[in-house]
Amino acid sequence: MDIATVLGLVASVAVLVGLIIIDGGNFAQYADKHAVIIIFGGAFAATLTRYPLGVVMHGIPMGFKAAMAMRSISPRQLVEEIATIADVARKQGPNALEKLDISDPVLAQGVRYIADGYDVDFIRQAMETDKDKVYAELDEAQKIYRSIGDCAPAFGMIGTLLGMVNMFANMTDPSKLGPIMAMALLATLYGAVIANMVCMPIADKCHLKMAEEDLCRSIIMDGVIQIRNQKSPQIVREMLLAYLSEHDRHAMTEAA
């Protein structure tokens, strides 16, 4: 689980709840069904206009899952594990790879390709196709959340304008002005909260996960192909070190 995402969401809610408590703790005054309808209904409807229904229904859970989850293995650990696999393949042959317990499922699939004797062209095409598919799904998810984040404040403003029209239409009855104005302002509040506390952060996190996934899968694909070409473990390791940050490269060099 990505602790940063969880802490961010929890902290955002805690800030809002804390401010409401400081202001008297009257949570009921911050609830309005009209504002909920205009924000959630309007933003969802506008997103449906932009994208097909299947894309929206798949992108929403996909984006949330991507933002909440972390890879089980870091790029540095991937390089170390691939170097170990290369050493086993060099000393014991490709068939010995079937007995290895590999933590990353993408790397495990690549090692199975080697053990089963697939050629380099097939391995590269299969892994690139899978990489492009995952990349497209993450891109789809971040676009959906970014679309909702773009629409929510706009519909908040629409809700505020509707409230003001209603308020001016009832100027003869002062008792109605307060509740109508509160509804108008709550629409803006809901739009800002949904966009800036939920949708845009999740969209940005999905974008970061795209870059992370691209890096890890590139390391795996290049490592698997080098092992299939029977390169030495040292060559495989040195080639993959180029993908790592300066800090990780220095740490791995010292450890070696």
Q: What does the CA dihedral 245, 251, 254, 256 come to, rounded to 10 degrees?
A: -80
* pLDDT averaged over every residue in the chain: 87
How crowded is residue 176: how many other Cβ atoms within 10 Å of its Cβ?
14
Instruction: Report residue 254's pLDDT band, with 50, 70 and 90 as the boundaries.
Output: low
Q: Is 88 exposed, middle or buried (0-12, 13-18, 19+ CB in 10 A)?
A: middle
pLDDT of 105 over the 80 cut: yes
Residue indicated by tokens 């008792």: 175
Share of the chain above pLDDT 90, in %: 35
Average pLDDT (222-234) is 89
pLDDT of residue 164 exceeding 90: no
- Give the Cα separation of 53 and 50 in Å (integer): 9
- Residue 244: the pLDDT is 84
CA angle 174, 179, 185 (to 5 degrees): 120
Mean pLDDT for 73-84 is 88
Q: Within the chain, how many helices (H) and strands (E) appear?
A: 11, 0
Position 128 scores a pLDDT of: 92
Tens digits of residue pLDDT in 42-69? 999 999 999 999 899 999 999 999 888 8
Long-range contacts of 66-69 (CB under 8 A, 24+ apart): 66/138, 66/141, 66/205, 66/206, 66/209, 67/2, 67/5, 67/201, 67/202, 67/205, 67/206, 67/209, 68/1, 68/2, 68/5, 68/6, 69/1, 69/2
Per-residue pLDDT, 252: 72
Mean pLDDT of 134-142: 91
Give the pLDDT confidence score for residue 224 in this predicted structure: 92
Over residues 8-20, the mean pLDDT reads 90
DSSP at 119: -
Farthest CA pair distance, the chain = 90
User: Whole-model pTM?
Assistant: 0.81
The closest alpha carbon to 113, from 215, 217, 227, 213, belongs to 227
- Mean pLDDT value of segment 21-49: 87
For residue 251, give Cα distances in angstroms to 23, 77, 83, 202.
Answer: 51, 12, 15, 32
